[in-house]
Amino acid sequence: MKVTVPMPSEFDLIREFFTPPNSRPDVRLGVGDDAALLAPPAGKDIALTADTLVAGTHFLADAPAEAVGHKCLAVSLSDLAAMGAAPAWVTLAVTMPRVERAWVEAFCGGFHALARRFEVQLVGGDLSRGALSVTVQAAGLVDAGRGLRRDGARAGEDVYVSGVLGDAALGLGRGGEAFRRALHWPQPRVELGLALAGVAGACIDVSDGLLADLGHVLQRSGAGAEVMRGALPLSAAYREILAQAGWTAALAGGDDYELCFTANPKRRAEVAALAAQLKIPLTRIGAVTDGRGLRLLDENGNALAVARAGYEHF
């Protein structure tokens, strides 16, 4: 039984804002029925993920609506990228205290623009009244048995991270257009995730901070790692303030939505070629070891205490 009270203009809203044209042959039936009907191609596994973004916790209550629409989808596409999956279908549940058309329109502008960019089809969802929050469920397709997992890291592999770390976390505290942009407009590494299938040992997206997320890979893989702090990729804007800001944003800041992955050292040339081809920096930051846990080394090779293991929600 359904317990949420439908919003007054729910059906008009859905028709106007949440019913994009069908753009995929594997969608038999999209928005409008009791459920979507999807036709996954043979030989593919489905990667499935859900995330809730709560106003005040996961996005600033005064964040631009267009950015909220972008980000709620971007975080799910980032999860699919980390699995090496091509995004295909998405559902969207929005809870709002009241219907503000301008907010909904801007929100959908951000959401649909990103969906179009990656050919992911919105196939259903829900609208209800309550404190502002957004839940996105996204499904992607990956060749059967080839999904990238957290448990595939092996001692001796290199550890890489894409892009730069820490800018989004700095965007929470400071001004600076580049930092704010990183916080509000994360770019999911979809193409990179697809290219890493067959190259990476393990992969994860960095959403809660590098130390926490690489820690998950190590725990699931039963391995350890050494990471060189001085090798972490930082933006020019971050480098400028590194002396005051310190390394915390890069190590434990969260909201980066970069990919952290491991790969056999024999594949260094391949990884470098990928970076050049995709025009995404892929930086080697350390190595997987057969110990347990993560050792962080300073610029002189001395072990640093790993105090903050990243952002935790509870």
Would you tell me which residues interact with ligand ADP (CB under 6 A)?
14, 18, 31-34, 92, 94, 122, 124-127
- Closer residue to ligand ADP (CB): 105 or 126: 126
In whole angstroms, the minimum distance from the beta carbon of 3 to Mg ion comes to 11
Residues 6+ apart with CB under 8 A from 204: 82, 150, 213, 214, 216, 217, 259, 260, 261
- Closer residue to ligand ADP (CB): 115 or 200: 115
Instruction: Kindly list the strands in the beta sheet with 303-304, ordered across the sheet, starting from the edge strand earlier in the chain.
Output: 203-206, 258-263, 158-162, 282-289, 224-228, 293-297, 303-304
Partner whose binding site includes residue 92, from Mg ion, ligand ADP, none (CB under 5 to 8 Å by kind): ligand ADP
In whole angstroms, the minimum distance from the beta carbon of 194 to ligand ADP comes to 26
Pairing of strands 224-228, 293-297: parallel
Q: How far apart are CA 202 and CA 18, in angstroms?
A: 36
Question: Binding Mg ion by CB under 5 A: which of 126, 151, 226, 270?
Answer: 126
Helices 101-117 & 10-17 angle (0-180, nearest 10): 40
In whole angstroms, the minimum distance from the beta carbon of 18 to ligand ADP comes to 3
- Closer residue to ligand ADP (CB): 106 or 178: 106
In whole angstroms, the minimum distance from the beta carbon of 105 to ligand ADP comes to 13
Does residue 10 touch Mg ion according to CB under 5 A? no
- Closer residue to ligand ADP (CB): 34 or 177: 34
- Closer residue to ligand ADP (CB): 35 or 269: 35
- Asked if 201 and 154 count as a contact pair (C-beta separation under 8 A), the reply is yes
In whole angstroms, the minimum distance from the beta carbon of 290 to ligand ADP comes to 47
Partner whose binding site includes residue 47, from Mg ion, ligand ADP, none (CB under 5 to 8 Å by kind): none
310 dihedral zone (left: phi>0; alpha: psi -120 to 50; beta):
left
Partner whose binding site includes residue 270, from ligand ADP, Mg ion, none (CB under 5 to 8 Å by kind): none
- Closer residue to ligand ADP (CB): 14 or 60: 14
Burial letters for 57-68: b for 16+ Cβ neighbours within 10 Å, e otherwise? Answer: ebbeeebbbbbb
- Closer residue to ligand ADP (CB): 54 or 155: 54
Q: Which two tokens stand for residue 259?
A: 């990919």
In whole angstroms, the minimum distance from the beta carbon of 188 to ligand ADP comes to 20
Partner whose binding site includes residue 312, from Mg ion, ligand ADP, none (CB under 5 to 8 Å by kind): none
Stretch that binds Mg ion, among 42-50, 125-133, 216-224, 232-240 (CB under 5 A): 125-133
Residues 6+ apart with CB under 8 A from 310: 208, 209, 210, 211, 212, 213, 215, 252, 254
Q: How far apart are CA 5 and CA 293, in angstroms?
A: 48
Helices 65-82 & 177-184 angle (0-180, nearest 10): 60
Helix (H) or strand (E) holding 294: strand 293-297
- Closer residue to ligand ADP (CB): 126 or 226: 126
Partner whose binding site includes residue 85, from Mg ion, ligand ADP, none (CB under 5 to 8 Å by kind): none
Among all residues, whose Cβ is closest to Mg ion? Answer: 126
Beta partners for residue 141, in sequence order: 46, 86
In whole angstroms, the minimum distance from the beta carbon of 118 to ligand ADP comes to 17
Sign of the alpha-carbon dihedral angle for 17, 22, 26, 29: positive
Helix (H) or strand (E) holding 108: helix 101-117
The footprint of Mg ion (CB under 5 A) covers 126
